[in-house]
Amino acid sequence: MSTTVTGTIEHRDIGTGAWALVTDDGVTYELPRSTDKQLLKSGQTAKVTGKVRDDIMTAAMIGPVLEVKSFEVIN
């Protein structure tokens, strides 16, 4: 099932580094390293559509993994 969320992109200094999308409600999603580099810019706001992957774990474990299908940078 597809999920659409809006939030701020953050880089977390955990291990080798991790990318996160933090929603306005304070929910943190981890973004895979394979995510389009145009989205992975710390501080920018974006509307992201993707699939929450509950079948995988990561070393950072900062939140559920959001596999990005599409996105729109808001600023």
Q: Give the per-residue pLDDT at 15.
A: 82
Q: State how many domains the chain has.
A: 1
Distances (CA, A) of 42 to 1, 6, 51: 27, 14, 21
CATH number of the domain to which 16 belongs: 2.40.50.430
Q: pLDDT grade, residue 1 (50/70/90)?
A: confident
State which residues form the domain around 37: 2-73
Q: What is the pLDDT of residues 53-70, one digit of tens each?
A: 999 988 889 999 999 999
